Each structure stands twice: as structure tokens, then as C-alpha cells.
């Protein structure tokens, strides 16, 4: 049973357990992306609902009820959706400045029930006030220039990741799992490639197959580098970053166990600078280019480690495949897709990633 079929009464019963005596004031769906402009995002992995609650003393709280959607990205089985939300519940609180996980359970015949009965899973989290970082990037795409706040936020993101990635973790199994998920999971390279229609402009089946093979070679290059294991966010992109004011932000949807290569987080964010720029010609020199260079410079200076440049290629390829996938971004044209995949291919062919590779896209 889905959250929609369970209805508002079921949500109200769940709220009464989390906020004793609380009263549901309003329930509304949260769309994956309600913004206008470049990089319109057409798909997400979940169906969140914003729930406004009034506590007995009159205090207002906002909760988010999330369910997982069946899709071709490794979520087609109910067990996949259980695994996704259970992992979210287990890991969200391990990441600083992230929304908190409050409850996990199932949607059953009588509404929302505990895990001892079968049904579709749900997850409850706190709500993050503010605006998606993607809206900042859309404004830069519109205006063609960055401001002081844009630079400050970019620097804050780089420094935050540098701190998160600083402490080594010792777990060879977790390292090998992270590399395996990079390629073989439904959300990884294989799953994303499977979502491309065979006639996608700029992404022929033969080209995608060649990228897959290059990435498999990289898995074997990195497989013995368990010393690179760190705490990571796992999905550090502009649609999971909510800025409230200034450089203060909250994170959403930490993913895949939150252990892996720091290059994962770096690629997830930075690929968006050329991705947005290529859809808004003329915005690289004074807009996204300065953000690209500032992020890499700051991250390396604050202790992120140059090893990230040695490892970045397959993670950048994965994120390029994501932003080029018509399932996620249907408005991206063939020439833009060809250019972004070309950036990934050049990175895969180089022994170490050079941020200057992005400049070739805008000459």
C-alpha cells in the first residue's frame, strides 16, 4: 500500500507517536523540482510529503514523510525500496548538518504500521527550510556572473567536504562495496546507462558501452586503495543542498552507506558547474568557471587531499552520465550531452584529473 492510499488519518496516527498530542495542520506533496530555468529535473527516487504539525503547547513543527518509488534504477523490487529507506534511517544522522531521521516503518492495510507487518516502507525526517542550491545556479545561468554570496557558498561547501573527508576509515569491505556500487548498482553506472533510450542524441549505445569498460578498468585501479576510505555524503549535489541564509546549509538524502571515496562527493557537486554552464552559453568565464576553480582550489587547500584528483575520473563519469540521462534531465540537447560525456571520456583517459579539462568545453 502507498502513502497516498494510506491517507491523512494514517499519517496523523504516525505523527501522534512522534509528537505526543500533536495535531496535523496541513499535508502537501513536495515536488522533486519546482524551479524554472535551466537544468529542469524531471525525476527523483522518492515521493516526499511535507506535514505541518502543531504540538500541544502551540509550537509548530514540520516533518517530511518519504516513500520510495518503483523505478528502473535498482528500486523495482519492494525489497530494494525497503533497503533504500532503512539505509537512509541508519545513516542520515551520521552526517553533520543533515536533516534528522526520526522514524522508519511500513504502509500496511491499516495505515502506517511497524516493520513486523509487510508493506511499502516510509521514512520520516525533519524539514530543511531554505532554497535549493540549484536555484542559485539557475540565477547564475540567467545573469552570467557570480556574486560574493555565490563565491562564499561555494567556498563553504568545499571546506565542509574537506572536514568531512579528513578522517580515514579502516574497512576494506566497505571500500570494495563502494566501488562495486559505483558501477553495478541500480543507481550506479550500469543502472543509469540502462535508462538511456538507444536513440539518445550524443549517447549512442556503443559510446555508453565504451565508457562502462573504461570505468571497469578504473575499478581495478582503485580496488586496492582502501586507505582512501572516508565518511562521505554520497549524493552531494545541488538538489540535495538547502541554503537558509548566507553560507548556512542543510543536507538532504545522504546515500549508499555514507562510506566511500571523497571523489564521489567532489564529482557529484562539481559536474554541475559545467552542466549548468553548457546550457547557458557565455556564462562560464564570469559565472560557473570561477565557481569550478574556487571549489577545487579551496578543497585542496583545506586538506581535501590531491589524491581526489587521482581517483576522480570514474566518479565524474558516473555523474556526467546522470546529468546527461534523459530520464533525469529531458531538456538537455544532443550537443551539450556530447560535450559533457566528452569531458568524462577525457578524464577517464588521463592518469590524473586536471580541472583545466573543463575549459575546453567553452572555448
Rounded distance between C-alpha atoms, residue 168 and residue 228, angstroms: 7
8-12, 190-194, 248-252, 348-352: lowest mean pLDDT where?
A: 8-12
pLDDT digits (tens, 9 = 90+) for 300-324: 998 767 899 999 999 999 999 999 9
pLDDT digits (tens, 9 = 90+) for 16-32: 878 888 889 888 888 66
Residue 92 CB contacts under 8 Å (≥ 6 apart), including other chains: 98, 99, 100, 101, 125, 254
pTM here? 0.82
Q: Check residue 157 and give its pLDDT.
A: 98
Chain mean position to CA 82: 19
Chain mean position to CA 225: 24
Whether the pLDDT of residue 115 is over 60: the answer is no
Of all residues in the chain, the percent with pLDDT exceeding 70 is 90
Q: What helix, strand, coil percent values describe the chain, rounded to 5?
A: 50, 15, 35
Q: Which phi and psi angles does 111 have, rounded to 5°?
A: 115, -140
39-48, 94-103, 145-154: lowest mean pLDDT where?
A: 39-48
- Are 88 and 65 within 8 A, CB to CB? no
Amino acid at each position: 500500500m502507498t502513502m497516498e492510499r494510506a491517507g491523512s488519518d494514517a499519517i496523523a496516527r504516525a505523527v501522534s507517536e512522534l509528537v505526543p498530542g500533536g495535531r496535523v495542520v496541513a499535508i502537501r506533496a513536495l515536488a522533486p523540482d519546482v524551479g524554472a530555468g535551466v537544468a529542469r529535473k524531471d525525476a527523483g527516487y522518492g515521493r516526499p510529503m511535507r506535514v505541518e504539525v502543531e504540538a500541544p503547547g502551540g509550537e509548530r513543527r514540520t516533518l517530511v514523510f518519504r516513500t520510495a518509488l518503483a523505478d528502473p534504477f535498482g528500486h523495482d523490487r519492494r525489497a530494494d525500496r525497503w533497503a533504500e529507506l532503512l539505509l537512509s534511517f541508519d545513516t542520515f544522522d551520521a552526517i553533520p548538518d543533515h536533516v534528522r531521521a526520526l522514524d522508519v516503518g511500513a504502509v500496511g492495510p491499516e495505515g502506517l504500521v511497524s516493520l513486523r507487518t509487510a508493506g511499502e516502507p516510509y521514512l520520516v525526517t525533519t524539514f530543511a527550510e531554505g532554497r535549493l542550491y540549484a536555484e542559485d545556479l539557475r540565477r547564475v545561468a540567467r545573469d552570467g556572473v557570480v556574486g560574493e554570496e555565490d563565491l562564499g557558498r561555494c567556498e563553504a561547501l568545499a571546506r565542509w567536504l574537506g572536514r568531512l573527508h579528513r578522517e580515514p576509515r579502516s574497512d576494506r569491505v566497505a571500500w570494495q562495496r563502494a566501488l562495486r556500487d559505483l558501477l553495478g548498482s541500480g543507481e550506479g553506472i550500469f543502472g543509469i546507462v540502462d535508462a538511456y533510450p538507444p536513440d539518445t542524441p550524443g549517447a549512442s549505445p556503443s559510446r555508453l558501452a565504451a565508457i562502462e569498460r573504461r570505468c571497469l578498468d578504473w575499478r581495478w585501479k582503485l580496488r586496492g586503495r582502501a586507505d582512501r576510505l572516508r565518511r562521505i555524503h554520497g549524493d552531494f549535489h545541488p538538489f540535495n543542498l538547502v541554503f537558509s541564509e548566507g553560507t548556512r546549509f542543510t543536507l538532504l538524502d545522504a546515500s549508499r552507506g555514507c562510506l566511500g571515496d571523497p571523489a564521489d562527493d567532489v564529482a557529484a557537486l562539481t559536474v554541475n558547474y559545467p552542466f549548468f554552464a553548457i546550457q547557458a552559453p557565455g556564462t562560464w568565464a564570469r559565472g560557473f568557471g570561477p565557481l569550478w576553480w574556487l571549489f577545487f582550489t579551496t578543497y585542496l587547500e583545506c586538506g581535501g587531499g590531491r589524491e581526489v584528483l587521482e581517483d576522480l575520473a570514474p566518479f565524474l563519469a558516473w555523474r556526467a552520465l546522470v546529468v546527461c540521462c534523459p530520464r533525469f534531465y529531458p531538456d538537455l540537447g544532443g550537443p551539450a550531452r556530447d560535450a559533457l560525456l566528452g569531458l568524462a571520456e577525457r578524464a577517464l583517459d588521463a592518469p590524473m584529473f586536471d580541472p583545466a579539462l573543463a575549459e575546453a568545453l567553452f572555448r
